[in-house]
Structure 1
Amino acid sequence: MAPRANWKGFLKVAELVCPVALYTAASTNERISFHMLNRATGHRLRREFVDSETGKPVERDDQVKGYETGKDDYIVLDPDEVTAAVPESDKTMDVQAFIAREEIDDLYFDKPYYLAPAGKQAQEVFILIREGMKNRKVVALAETVLFRRVRTVLIRPHGEGLIATTLNYDYEVRSAQEHFSEITDITLKGEMLELAEHIIKTKSGRFDPQKFDDRYDAALAEMVKAKIEGRKIKPHKPKAEGKVIDLMEALRQSAGEGDKKTAKPSTKKAAATRKPAASRRKAG
């Protein structure tokens, strides 16, 4: 079954217009999920809104949005008023500029989507735009209305298609200074830095997403399986971490361990990382 598009519209570059479709590139749907139940009856629970003062349930038709202007003081917005604030969409992803990829900090990245041509007739224009970006080594900044919001998206070539990543607005990205302001300047000894660089060199590798497992989700899946099979669940005991007292000694020990690992690679351990992923069953 072909994937369902989240959005369909047009990619516009100057006078070039290409029908495109947007698809989810990253999803959390495969994670283990739970429902809240009544322990006594086993029945599933449902949420309902209640008045904070009276404690009585409020019907859906009586629920309105409000903006707090002061303590317990709100401006009420009716559904029609909220709808009026939603920007009109012409279904156009309008490219504003082409920039070098390194100009934009990853902090601004929000959510990635696959961008593909919508239909065979759109492929020639789509490929022309994609190849032009590849040859110039640039990415595109475009503006569009996605899911009731005006969004800026970063578009870049990816294999045979394009990736459109929604970007955070400037006010959504917190200042690094407020988190790093208490980090003091320390003069490092030459040997310390050399050892640190040596450790980094021995740990050098390549990013392979298949080697990174969601251990928490895997543990939940195993726990659910054990429950279904009636097996006893063993509690996990975290390993005790030793305190680093002497930084120089810790660096020397780490450098020594790094040498051993690079000198004698473990074929058994490498084989273990290639085991097939266990099938998961959603709880609920």
Structure 2
Amino acid sequence: MAPRALWKGQLRLSLVSIPVEVYSATDSSAKVSFRQIHAPSGKRVRYEKTVPGIGPVKSDDIVKGWETDDDQIVLLDPDEVDAIKLETRKTFELVQFVGSCEIPPIWFDRPYYLVPSDDLAEDAYRVVRDALRASGKTGLGQITMRGKEYLAAVRPCGDGLLMETLHYADEIRASDALFQQIEDDPADPDLLEVATSLIERKTAPFDATAFKDSYSAALQALLESKRKNKKTRRVPAGDGDDAPQGENVVDLMAALKQSLKAEGGRKKPAKKKAS
């Protein structure tokens, strides 16, 4: 299945605007995922949103709430949040450039591919890519995706551009409290020479294919052997319930009330026969 663009808009450099699309650079489908199953019944565990004293609630009735310092919660309607107009929703402007080695790795969050939207945009796109490559610079700007404004860096990657979201300054935890106990004395010269030699001996060009996820491979092998073993316990993928797909099981109180209603309410106590 073709990947879906996470964002469509304009990549702007001064007065030049280039129609681009953003795609995730990572593939989560490569990982093994599990479903939670209730072992005694073999049915899938489902989750629902409930309110104490009310029970299950509809998604349309849920709004965002922000807790204040005085233990109050300020409610926000969806329309109020959507009304916030940010230019970065449709425009990703490169407002600053830094050396490609100046950003420490701790600031990087997630990688994305930034591609031209059509053939007409390719010429300007290549100009930006080649200019970044020739100057050894990385472009910085802000972009709004999935209801959040991100700080992002753009740099050449193969024949295209790689966009990486960055953490904001207040999202990085200071390391001083963790490292302050480490003494700043110089390392032993002999030990340092041995460690340096070992590093030099194991130095090689980066090749990600040289590293394999051994845990995932072993897990996949286990799952395959379980699949082939006829003695492995199996349950149907569907629950077989009458409830529509995706509907959650009601809580105990609601179930009891529904059962009581089906039986016509509480039964009146039998009258005592006259002696």
Normalised by the length of structure 2, the TM-score is 0.76
Number of the residue aligned with 1:36: 36
Q: State the partner residue of 1:10.
A: 10
Q: Which residue of 2 aligns with 1:111?
A: 110
Residue 23 of structure 2 aligns with which residue? 23
Q: List gaps (5 residues or longer) in structure 2.
A: 239-275
CA distance in 1, matches of 2:35, 2:165: 30
Structure 1 CA distance, aligned partners of 2:139 and 2:172? 21
Counterpart of 1:252 in structure 2 is: none
Deviations 1:217-241 (A, max 9, x none): 22221111111111899xxxxxxxx
CA separation of 1:62 and 1:117: change in aligned 2, threshold 3 A: closer
For the pair 1:178 / 2:177, whether they are aligned, the reply is yes
Partner of 1:124 in structure 2?
Answer: 123
Task: Check if 1:209 corresponds to 2:226.
Answer: no
2:218 is aligned with 1:219: yes
**Residue 124 of structure 1 aligns to a residue in which SS?**
helix
Deviation at 1:205, TM superposition (A): 2.4
Shift of 1:72: 6.5
Please say if 1:67 is aligned against 2:79.
no
Question: Residues 92 and 144 of structure 1 are in contact (CA less than 8 Å); yes or no, is this contact kept in structure 2?
Answer: yes
Report the CA distance shift for 1:207/1:231 in structure 2 as closer, same or farther (over 3 A): farther
| Structure 2 counterpart of 1:224, one-letter code | L
Tell which structure's C-alpha radius of gyration is larger: 2
Change (3 A) 1:111 1:47: same
* 1:271 corresponding residue in structure 2: none
CA shift in 2, pair 1:3/1:78, >3 Å: closer
Paired residue total: 234
Same amino acid, percent of matched pairs: 35
**Change beyond 3 A, Cα 1:198–1:89:** closer
Aligned twin of 1:98 = 97
SS of the residue 1:113 aligns to: strand
- Match of 1:253? none
Tell me, yes or no, if the aligned pair for 2:152 and 2:165 is still in contact at 8 Å: yes
Instruction: Note the C-alpha offset of 1:79.
Output: 2.9
What are the Cα deviations for residues 81-111 of structure 1, in whole angstroms up to 9, with x where unaligned?
A: 3334474655111110222112211111111
Counterpart Cα distance in 1 of 2:178 and 2:73: 33
Contact kept in structure 2, 1:116 and 1:161, CA below 8 Å: yes
Q: Deviations over 1:171-212 (max 9, x none)?
A: 111112122111123443322222222222222223211121
Contact 2:89 2:145 in 1 (8 A): no
Displacement of 1:144 after TM fit?
Answer: 2.3
Task: Quickly say closer, same or farther: Cα 1:71–1:50, change in 2 above 3 A.
Answer: farther
Distance 1:62 1:22, change over 3 A: closer
**Change in 2 beyond 3 A, CA 1:160/1:61:** closer
Q: Quick one: distance in 2 between partners of 1:159 and 1:146?
A: 24
Secondary structure at the aligned position of 1:102 is classed as coil
Alpha-carbon contact 2:20-2:114 (below 8 Å) kept: yes
**Do the aligned residues in 2 keep the contact of 1:133 with 1:157 (CA within 8 Å)?**
yes
Matches of 1:55 and 1:199, distance apart in 2: 65
Determine if contact 1:226/1:232 at 8 Å carries over to the other structure: no
Shift in alpha-carbon separation, 1:70–1:58, aligned structure 2, 3 A? farther
**1:255 match:** none
Alpha carbons of structure 1 residues 214 and 86: separation in structure 2 relative to 1, 3 Å: farther
Q: Which amino acid aligns with 1:109?
A: F
Structure 2 distance, partners of 1:8, 1:77, is: 27
**TM-score (norm: length of structure 1):** 0.73
Letter in 2 for 1:129: V
Secondary structure of 2:164's match? strand
User: How far apart, CA to CA, are the structure 2 residues paired with 1:19 and 1:63?
Assistant: 36
User: Which residue of structure 1 aligns with residue 265 of structure 2?
Assistant: none
